[in-house]
Structure 1
Amino acid sequence: MESTEKNNLHPRNSHRSRYDFELLVQTNPKLQQFVQKVKNTDQLTIDFDNPKAVKSLNKSLLMQYYNVENWDVPEGFLCPPIPGRADYIHYIADLIKGNKAEIPTGSYVKGLDIGVGANCIYPLIGASFYNWDFVATDTNLKALKNCSTILQHNPDLGEKIALQQQLNSRFIFKDIIEPEDKFHFTMCNPPFHMSASEAKKGTTRKLNNLGLQKEAVDKTPNFGGISDELWCDGGEVKFITQMIFESAKYQQQVMWFTTLVSKNEHLKSLMKVLDKIEPTEIKVIEMKQGQKTSRILAWTFMTESRMNNGRFDEQKPSEENDF
């Protein structure tokens, strides 16, 4: 089988090569029913238009590369592409590494995932690959209950991931970050549409691009997503703006605040918001998955000296340092 590298993915991403379907079927025999040959070749693939096939592939990838068993998401919730989600985790690792020789690993590194959804993907990958600890939040109780079920099937990872419901959807960090908390990073894949109708138009456009019928919109979990995941009043600009203003209240408790930004044209207005709270440093990190380009917006209020003098020096907890 050809092993063409996806050079646009992060160098540490486990999914840079073509999917090894023979290996994945050995890991998860249930994937076999969806595997087929690419026309006129011996290469194996699945029908990526088939949501059941995509979910089975996700299960297989999580089993093979992250030791996650019995992963599943309820119908209607987002079924995310694993390679792109892994990229975000690896770029965060680069951020918190800074100019150190090694990437900080272990449970003293603590991340906060805002809007974890029902899939729990970011904490699962981060906890498995880097052994980080996570607090994962969501406003949707059903989503959190599904995450809890996944973690019950994976007790080693479950010990590293705490779930917390945000009871007030007007806030992002408030009532989540407590006075005694310290996080090396926050991360978020914000709802990017401004309304339910706009979200449905986006899904219909995706399906049409794939040659699928419009009536498939509501039946396609890999392009699915409940309202919390796909849209909010004001879209991602309003959501991230709220996140930025709130972050100023927790600038001594978080090393790096980060969020995905789906549209490049949104960066200009978000940068103006960031200027108002005067962070020490702002970074925009581009990520590419196939034809899609997204970006991570990251900001910190801490000086490089403070970050370098924290726990990152020691690779273990220290009572003498802030982090």
Structure 2
Amino acid sequence: MTMKKPLSSGGASPAVKNNLHPRSRHRGRYDFPALCAALPELNEFVRRNEWGDLSVDFADPRAVICLNRALLSQHYNVAHWQIPPGALCPPVPGRADYIHYLADLLAADGQNVIPRGPQVSVLDIGTGASCIYPLIGQAEYGWRFTGTETDPASVKAAAAIVSANPGLSTAIRLRTQPDPLHIFRGVIKKGERYTATLCNPPFHASEQQAGEGAQRKRRNLGLEDKPALNFGGTAGELWCEGGETGFITRMIKESAEFASQVNWFTSLVSRKENLKPLYQALRDVGAREVKTVEMAQGQKVSRFIAWTFLPAEKRK
């Protein structure tokens, strides 16, 4: 099943022409005067582009990080946010869309009422140094998050963000995954229940493939002479053995061990052609229900796959 019609609670003006979720705070162009008011440091990077519009140089990692800080400050009440050099710098609007569409998925289990508050417990697999999904999900819906990571440096950076922002320490907890070959084992404890899991899996199958992807991105943007990617990313964030399909397949196999402890397992799937083997893997483990939720940001179409082992009455 593919979900394409999100719930709306106010939404944006119909005059706003883009494909972000109706509840997204990022529909339309960035309001740079408001963003600079939220974070004056952003003024250093804001310039008129060739069309005369205010913008930043998206090829400059410092500008992108500063823009993210301003977005998080203005829209999500995150006053302190910093990531280590080279860490993945996530595009905030796209990450917010995953949260909003996940909220719609959960609402379908509750008479189309979006669940809010700390009774909703979400497990973020590979939360990264940015801790981006917990920050957005907690601000938008008051959900409680557990973020997992295999990289100690990322755990340390995410913990610093959580501790630096008042009120987040009770809403976001972090756990180190002790075995990088496992996903849920070692982090879901006996007796714990989660409303949902989410994940942005490594995209590439090797370091070489990741490097080639980076070169293509620079070439497509006309940035061959630029040495750094604007969104960065460490090895564990960008590639793993088997790539995206291999990672999610391992996730699917392990999820069966925790079938009664999670209402919905979900993961981003960057390539549509990867869905077919994932559907087969879900049939193999006996998933009761599978959904593909489509999302779009401008010309880019993305999606996440969701599966459950529980009947609807046990997901309330």
Gaps of 5+ in 2: 1-13
CA contact (8 A) 1:4 1:17 kept: no
Per the TM alignment, residue 4 of structure 1 is displaced from its structure 2 partner at its CA by 6.5
Counterpart position of 1:207: 218
Partners of 2:223 and 2:38 lie apart in 1 by 30
1:287 counterpart residue number:
295
Partner of 1:251: 259
Of the candidates 28, 33, 36, which is equivalent to residue 25 of structure 1? 36
Aligned to 2:48: 37
Distance 2:301 2:232 in 1: 20
Residue identity matched to 2:266: T
Deviations 1:166-209 (A, max 9, x none): 01011000011111100000000000100000001101110111
Q: Distance in 2 between matches of 1:30 and 1:121?
A: 21
Q: Report deviation, 1:159.
A: 1.5
Q: Give the direction of change, closer, same or farther, for the CA distance of 1:40–1:198 in structure 2 (3 Å limit).
A: closer
Structure-2 separation of matches of 1:288 and 1:230:
21
SS in 2 for 1:48: coil
Decide whether aligned partners of structure 1 residues 6 and 163 sit closer, same or farther in structure 2, where only a CA change above 3 A counts: farther
Aligned to 2:272: 264
* 2:95 corresponds to: 85
Higher relative contact order, chain-length normalized (CA < 8 Å, sep 6+) = 2
Over 2 Å off, 4+ runs: 3-7, 38-41
* Equivalent of residue 152 in structure 2, options 131, 134, 141: 141
- Aligned partners of 2:133, 2:39: CA distance in 1, in Å? 21
Distance in 1 separating the partners of 2:263 and 2:154: 27
Aligned to 2:141: 130
Counterpart residue number, 1:15: 26
Structure 1 residue 70: deviation in Å? 1.8
3-state DSSP class of the match of 1:233?
coil
Q: Residue by residue, what CA displacement relative to the aligned partner does 1:212-234 show, whole Å, maximum 9, x if unpaired? A: 12561xx33x3311111000011
TM-score (norm 1): 0.91
Q: Which residue of 1 aligns with 2:175?
A: 164
Q: What amino acid sits opposite 2:138 in the alignment?
A: A
User: 2:15, 2:91 → 1: CA distance?
Assistant: 18
User: For 2:99 and 2:73, how far apart are their aligned partners in 1?
Assistant: 18
The answer to whether the aligner puts 1:76 opposite 2:61 as a matched pair is no
In 2, are the aligned partners of 1:128 and 1:157 still within 8 Å (CA)?
Answer: no
* AA partner of residue 245 (structure 1): K
- For residues 231 and 81 of structure 2, the distance between their equivalents in structure 1, rounded to whole angstroms, comes to 18
1:316 is matched with: none
SS at match of 2:174: strand
Q: How far apart in 2 are the matches of 1:146 and 1:239? A: 24
1:110 equivalent in structure 2? 121
Q: Identity of paired residues, percent?
A: 48
The answer to whether the aligner puts 1:278 opposite 2:286 as a matched pair is yes
Q: Tell me whether 14-23 or 4-13 shows the greater mean CA deviation.
A: 4-13
Deviation at 1:138, TM superposition (A): 0.5
Aligned to 1:241: 249
Q: Which has the higher helix share?
A: 1
Q: Which of the residues 307, 311, 315 maps onto 1:299?
A: 307
Task: Specify the code of the residue in structure 2 equivalent to 1:120.
Answer: C
Partner SS state of residue 157, structure 1 = coil
Q: Tell me the residue number matched to 1:49.
A: 59
Query: What is the TM-score normalised by the length of structure 2?
Result: 0.93
Q: Which amino acid aligns with 1:28?
A: L
Structure 2 distance, partners of 1:158, 1:15, is 26
